[in-house]
Amino acid sequence: MSLHATPGSKNSEEHLKRSVSEFLRPGPPPLLTEQSVGEALNSIRSTGLEERIFYFYVVDPEGRLSGVVPARKLLTEPLERRIGEIMVPRVLSLPEGATLLEACECFILHKFLAIPVVDVRKRLLGIVDVSLFTDEVMELSAGGNNDQLFQTIGIHIQELQHASPVRAFRVRFPWLAATVSGGVLCAALAGAFETTLQQKVVLAVFMALVLGLGEAVAAQSLALTVQSLPVSRVRWKWLRVKLLREAVTAGLLGLLAGSAVALMVGLIWRDLPAALSIGGSVIVSILMASLLGILVPVILRIVRWDPKIAAGPITLAAADLFTVTCYLVTARLVLG
């Protein structure tokens, strides 16, 4: 199937919206996690190889992508070692619904020579290699329109790395303004609950700790989400699984941290209502902060804003605002 669009034609952008599945190659035979290096090499010899081999991909017994082994590493490891021991478990992949545009963007941002393509169950379907991108560039360049592809795939994402300090300031400051706004709102909330804070000094003492816990969990959740965010559009199935797993993890973290804080308040201040109020707000705050760490970058991806720049300030500001609200409202309800 032809890979190229007619240079300068009106349909160039439509061409880049075609599914990456149209350009799949089978790639090298997949390896199994339980295979030894020797068994894998024998399997490769018996199957044969394509002309270009950059990486060997590893699958589990159900064919789901589990990791990647660079060709050099496979050839230099002891024959008795298991593939599961030498593979890199975190591997970037494209969903089968990704577009040619998103594949080209991936090659620019991550500098890989090949990228595996998987279905909704993470089963390996094939690969696309860097020639998919370089062929597009050469075709457009031959038509005197070599800037078109770079403009279309959003090379502006990398502009910030080489921008002047003034331009970098203009790009980054609006998102930091979210942090400033969140801090002002938190201060206003604290002022509205001034009487409650004066009646229970222990609430003011532990507010900074509760805020720190919420921010730490939000930052962890955000970092994991940005790394695993699908290159193409976010699907509900992926989001549902991600939210469920994070909710369970955050629930366990919240229970442990909340119990520890409540025990500390109970032992030092000997105030059971305050201990229950602070411990309970820790549990709820950690749970919500972790979910915000997923939802904020997902929403930014949906509206086509860069999560790497915008998600951090917005997530932390939202987490702070929710944590303070939960903390003070819970205190007023429990302590009266």
Q: Are residues 207 and 87 in the same domain?
A: no
Q: Are residues 63 and 191 in the same domain?
A: no
Q: Are residues 53 and 184 in the same domain?
A: no
**168, part of any domain:** yes
Q: Answer whether 293's CB lies under 8 Å from 222's CB.
A: yes
- Taking residues 246-275, report their average pLDDT: 93
pLDDT-derived band at 154, boundaries 50, 70, 90 = very low
**45, part of any domain:** yes
Q: Are residues 201 and 104 in the same domain?
A: no
Q: What is the pLDDT of residues 14-52, one digit of tens each?
A: 667 788 888 888 888 899 988 999 998 888 888 777 666
**186, part of any domain:** yes
At residue 291, the pLDDT reads 95
Q: Where are the beta strands (DSSP E) in the chain?
A: 31-32, 55-59, 65-70, 94-95, 114-118, 124-129
**pLDDT of residue 134 exceeding 80:** no
Q: Are residues 242 and 100 in the same domain?
A: no
Query: Number of H helices and number of E strands within the chain?
Result: 13, 6
More confident residue, 5 or 38: 38
Q: Are residues 150 and 172 in the same domain?
A: no
**2, part of any domain:** no
**CA 178 – CA 170 distance, rounded (Å):** 14
Q: Which long-range contacts (CB under 8 A, 24 or more apart) does 138-141 make?
A: 139/3, 139/4, 139/5, 139/7, 140/7, 140/12
CATH number where 232 lies = 1.10.357.20
Q: Are residues 89 and 167 in the same domain?
A: no
Q: Are residues 212 and 151 in the same domain?
A: no
Q: What is the pLDDT of residues 295-320, one digit of tens each?
A: 999 998 888 777 877 788 889 999 99
Q: How many domains does the chain have?
A: 2
- Taking residues 88-111, report their average pLDDT: 81
**pLDDT of residue 5 exceeding 70:** no
- Look at residues 156, 178, 211 and tell me which one is the last residue of a structural domain: 156
User: What's the whole-model pTM score?
Assistant: 0.55
Q: Are residues 108 and 188 in the same domain?
A: no
Q: Are residues 137 and 175 in the same domain?
A: no
At residue 7, the pLDDT reads 42
Domain of 142? Answer: 12-156
Average pLDDT, the chain: 81
**102, part of any domain:** yes
More confident residue, 214 or 158: 214
**CA 291 – CA 245 distance, rounded (Å):** 10
**4, part of any domain:** no
* Rg value, the chain, Cα: 26
